[in-house]
């Protein structure tokens, strides 16, 4: 009984304000807010930038997770801790760190700008900020997914002559794919909701979280609630996708 009560209270505290917000915002107001050109541009920026960020995170993070799953425990724990370090930074601090690294007045930023690569106030800057704060999710999830597989699968394949690449593509990746995809979805949701680092490094082009802050500053809570409604719907879709992926595992 105590456990059920604790679960009910937790759900009430977490979901109660969300349900109250959804009930307070007329769907017509949501449609009106997202029909504005600024909001539509912000949605496009967020969708493109977060997709770029997660694509790069997956390209690097999935093989890195496989390597970590087969590494010695001490080395694996150290690398995973280092990968998780950006997750502990305040978002604004992450933006400052990135600005100090690739800003146009820094050596690296100036060199990149000389080749036409500019991160400050650019779509690539939005993607970089989102990658910095969310990219670790994919590698960490992939390491856990690969590590949860029974060694006998790959050992049997190795006995039959399968090399490392074949074992990865034909055995490990298909078995771990549902959990890895769930991690990618989580990383994408974290990326698309990133505000702090993005607002420091690339306030323009305006992403959806930045547009939400602009609406709050210019028009108050009532206008920003409509954009917040959109985020809640998006989060609900992501949670549903994650739930479906997790069900494939069990």
DSSP letters for the chain: -HHHHHHHHHHHHHHHHHHHHHHHS-HHHHHHHHTSHHHHHHHHHHHHHHHHHHHHHHHHHHHHHHHHHTS-HHHHHHHHHHHTHHHHS-HHHHHHHHHHHHSTTSHHHHHHHHTT---TTSHHHHHHHHHHHHTHHHHHHHHHHHHTS-HHHHHHHHHTT--HHHIIIIIIHHHHHHHHHHHHHHHHHHHHT--HHHHHH--SSPPHHHHHHHHHHHH-HHHHHHHHHHHHHHHHHHHHHHHHHHHHH-
pLDDT confidence bin for 247, thresholds 50/70/90: low
Q: Are 184 and 138 in contact (CB under 8 A)?
A: yes
Asked if the model's pLDDT at residue 249 lies above 60, the reply is no
Q: Does 101 score more than 80 pLDDT?
A: yes
Whole-number average pLDDT of the chain: 88
pLDDT at 26: 84
* pTM to 2 decimal places: 0.86
- When mean pLDDT is compared across 19-28, 55-64, 169-178, the lowest value belongs to 19-28
Work out the percent of the chain whose per-residue pLDDT is above 90.
Answer: 44
- Residue predicted with more confidence, 122 or 233: 122
Cα(164)–Cα(167) distance, integer angstroms: 5
pLDDT band at 46 (very low <50, low <70, confident <90, very high): very high
Do 207 and 50 meet the contact criterion of CB atoms below 8 Å apart? no
Among 180, 187, 184, smallest CA distance to 146 is for 180
Q: Distance (Å, rounded) from C-alpha 128 to C-alpha 141?
A: 20
Task: Please enumerate in sequence order all residues whose Cβ is within 8 A of that of 210, keeping only pairs 6 or more positions apart, or say none.
Answer: 42, 195, 198, 199, 203
In this structure, of 142-151, 183-192, 219-228, the range with the lowest mean pLDDT score is 219-228
Residue 248: pLDDT over 70? no
- Decide if pLDDT at 228 tops 90: no
Q: For Cα atoms 248, 249, 250, give the angle at the middle one, nearest 5 degrees.
A: 95
Position 24 confidence tier, pLDDT thresholds 50, 70, 90: confident
> What pLDDT does residue 245 have?
65
Domains and CATH numbers, the chain: 38-249 (1.10.3720.10)
């Amino acid at each position: 009984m105590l456990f059920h009560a604790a679960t009910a209270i937790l759900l009430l505290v977490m979901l109660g304000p969300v349900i109250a917000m959804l009930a307070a915002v007329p769907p017509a107001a949501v449609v009106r807010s997202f029909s504005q050109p600024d909001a539509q541009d912000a949605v496009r920026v967020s969708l493109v930038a977060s997709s770029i960020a997660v694509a790069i995170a997956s390209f690097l993070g999935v093989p890195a997770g496989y390597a970590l799953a087969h590494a010695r425990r001490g080395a694996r724990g150290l690398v995973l801790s280092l990968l998780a370090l950006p997750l502990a930074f305040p978002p604004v601090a992450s933006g400052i760190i990135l600005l100090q690294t690739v800003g146009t007045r820094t050596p690296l930023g100036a060199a990149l700008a000389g080749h036409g690569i500019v991160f400050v106030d650019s779509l690539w800057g939005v993607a970089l900020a989102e990658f910095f704060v969310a990219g670790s999710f994919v590698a960490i999830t992939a390491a856990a997914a690969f590590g949860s597989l029974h060694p006998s699968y790959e050992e049997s394949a190795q006995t039959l002559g399968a090399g490392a690449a074949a074992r990865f593509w034909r055995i490990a990746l298909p078995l771990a794919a549902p959990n890895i995809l769930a991690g990618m979805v989580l990383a994408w949701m974290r990326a698309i909701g990133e505000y702090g680092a993005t607002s420091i490094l690339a306030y323009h082009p305006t992403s959806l979280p930045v547009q939400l802050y602009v609406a709050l500053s210019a028009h108050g809570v009532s206008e920003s609630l409509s954009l917040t409604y959109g985020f809640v719907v998006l989060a609900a879709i992501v949670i549903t996708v994650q739930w479906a992926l997790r069900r494939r595992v069990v």
